[in-house]
Chains A and B, each alone.
Chain A
Amino acid sequence: MNRGHQVETLAWRVGSLVVIAYALLPVAWITSLSLKPSHELNDGRFLPQSPSLEHYSAVFADAQFPAALWNSVGIAALATLLSVLLAMFASYAIVRLRFRGRALVLAAALSIAMFPPIAIVGPLFNMWRLTGLYDTWPGLILPYMTFTLPLAIWILTALFRDIPWDLDRAARVDGATPFQAFWYVIVPLAAPGVFTAAILVFIFAWNDFLFAAALTSTNSARTVPVAIAFFTGSSRFDLPTGSIAAASVLVTIPVVSAILVFQRRIVAGLTAGAVKG
């Protein structure tokens, strides 16, 4: 190995380390902030001097955060379940059946996924106010599905295209009903793709702030991002930095661990259909 090559290898390695540090910096910072006892919060240091868990117990002592966590998990899970289930059938139809308007359905899916959420917040606010869906779980699940359903259809259609569909024809020849062919042959083949779509859809619903901020008002449906953004201290001059940091860490840990485990699937889903022209 010559010298120039060694320098190049070193440069790539340093580059990788810099990128990893850059990506993780805010996570490290908010974690360290959450571990600082109150009197250290303002010391301007990056690391806590005497780590403590006082903010974590404070967060759980308050009624706001546990309620928001429950809402977030429930709403995101239901939205994911419903949209992935519906999208599965839709994508299967798009990939397998030759019907007119296939391209149109996909184009519509993409344009809705790219669509500015603020444009439907106003009408939804008024409709929900009149129908009593304001500040309820379905009141958030429905608008999430507007965005997650197209997203799921898009990802699933791209991933379903790679499946050797002839296998289900073989099953049909062997006497399986269409439903059996779907359930016992296609579903196991498609499961990884479905799982990928589910992760991405869940991340979308889990992340949303705009709808949750506009369409909820109390602990009965308010989700974590909104609760964190609107956290109030004991007095209005006392911004509860420590509690916010602790709550942030608590909602970040599951997502980060999911990423570490499902890294490959997430990458596949994010780039699904983006380049295979």
Chain B
Amino acid sequence: MLLVAAYPIAYALWLSLFRYDLRFPDERAYVGFGNYLSVLTSEVWWGSLANTLAITVGSVSIELVLGMLLALLMHRALFLRRTLRAAILVPYAIITVVAALAWKFAFDPVTGFVNPLFAVDQAWLAERWSAFLVIILIEVWKTTPFMALLLLAGLTLVPQELLWAAKVDGASAWQRFFRITLPLMRPAILVALLFRTLDAFRIFDAVFVLTRGAQGTETVSIVGYHALITRLNLGLGSAVSVLIFLCVISIAVLFIRAFGLSIWRAGGGR
């Protein structure tokens, strides 16, 4: 298992040190950190990194709020409980490409129902900010259920007696939520945030289907894909891959350091 993942990474590291373009295979040469230099000095990389971070932060924070509401709802709801749980799994299981296309057609000025519904005339995917909105909307739609389920699992661990005791002592619903429920859910919230942040950072499918990275919506995964597959520049593309890998590791380390989150403990080691 380690071999299957570690070998390609090592190979990517190796390739990233060469000038290696499949359209000009004869010009293969060792260039040291030259590829990294060209990536790190290019506006495309930093722009896409900013885009990716914006999408990640935007969607994960909306998901956290919506997911929490949804978790509370599922925790309390007796009405249509089964239907509710089944319904929220639908976004999770639908192929991302299909979900992205469905929303794309919905927002499309020609085929869509969104413009007539709000009586506006907006080419959503032709402008940067509205395209970002649609991307974040899809991401939120698709992954809030996962967030909600993780939070719900944490919510069920909050002892009910504690909440009753607080209620008897005269704490309002808000006070009970913010003073008791939230602090006790801290580990669950952190795990959910970490999972979703890492997941959102590698966003590819939705952006690819919606804009193919046009209108300044390129994410780091899209940049990597274009360098590797569209332009067949293995050296440069591998450098991008390695940098994305390093970004993901730093995010994980940041989470673990900043919040004192122990993956092992959080991850179910009893």
Contacts and interface: CB of A to CB of B under 8 A. Distances in A.
Interface of A: 9, 12-13, 15-17, 19-20, 22-24, 26-27, 29-30, 33, 41-42, 44-46, 90, 103, 106-112, 114-127, 142, 145-146, 149-150, 153-154, 157-158, 161, 203, 206-207, 209-210, 213-214, 224-226, 228-229, 241, 244-245, 248, 251-252, 255-256, 258-260, 263, 266-267, 270-277
A4 to B, nearest CB: 12
Contact of A214 (B96, B149, B228, B252): B228
Contacts of A270: 92, 146, 149-150
B66 to A, nearest CB: 9
B15 A116 contact: no
Interface in B107-163: 110-113, 115-117, 141, 145-146, 149-150, 152-154, 157
A45 B110 CA distance: 11
A206 B80 CA distance: 29
B154 A275 contact: yes
A109 B268 CA distance: 13
A207 B95 contact: yes
Contact of B4 (A46, A145, A210, A245): A145
A209 to B, nearest CB: 4
Contact of B90 (A23, A41, A145, A241): A23
A103 B5 CA distance: 18
A46 B76 CA distance: 33
A271 B195 CA distance: 12
B266 A277 contact: yes
A186 to B, nearest CB: 19
B4 A256 contact: no
Nearest to B10: A123
- State the majority secondary structure of interface residues on A: helix
Contacts of B105: 29-30, 33, 241, 245
A15 B225 CA distance: 41
30 contacts: A12-B76, A13-B80, A15-B73, A17-B80, A20-B83, A26-B94, A33-B111, A44-B115, A45-B113, A103-B264, A103-B269, A107-B264, A107-B267, A112-B2, A118-B225, A118-B241, A121-B224, A126-B11, A146-B4, A161-B268, A203-B93, A207-B96, A209-B205, A251-B98, A252-B95, A255-B93, A263-B89, A267-B149, A274-B188, A275-B191
Interface string B204-242: 110011000000000011001100110000100110011
Given A118-B225, A210-B204, 18 more contacts: A12-B79, A13-B80, A16-B73, A29-B105, A33-B102, A112-B5, A114-B199, A114-B252, A116-B201, A118-B204, A125-B229, A126-B234, A158-B268, A161-B270, A209-B204, A225-B95, A255-B93, A270-B149
B44 interface: no
Contacts of B220: 118
A257 to B, nearest CB: 10
A30 B141 CA distance: 15
A101 B142 CA distance: 36
Nearest to A225: B97
Contacts of B263: 107, 110
B141 A26 contact: yes
Contacts of B152: 271
A123 B82 contact: no
B229 A121 contact: yes
Nearest to A108: B2
Contacts of A26: 91, 94, 99, 102-103, 106, 141
Contacts of A256: 90, 93-94
Given A107-B264, A114-B252, A248-B102, A214 B73 contact: no
A124 B113 CA distance: 41
B174 to A, nearest CB: 15
Given A19-B84, A228-B97, A122 B12 contact: yes
A29 B149 contact: no
Interface string B233-260: 0100110011011001000100000000
B3 to A, nearest CB: 10
Contacts of A23: 87-88, 90-91, 145
Contacts of B145: 23
Contacts of A107: 263-264, 267
A248 B79 contact: no
Contacts of A146: 1, 4-5
A275 B201 CA distance: 23
A122 B238 contact: yes
Contact of B245 (A16, A116, A252, A263): A116
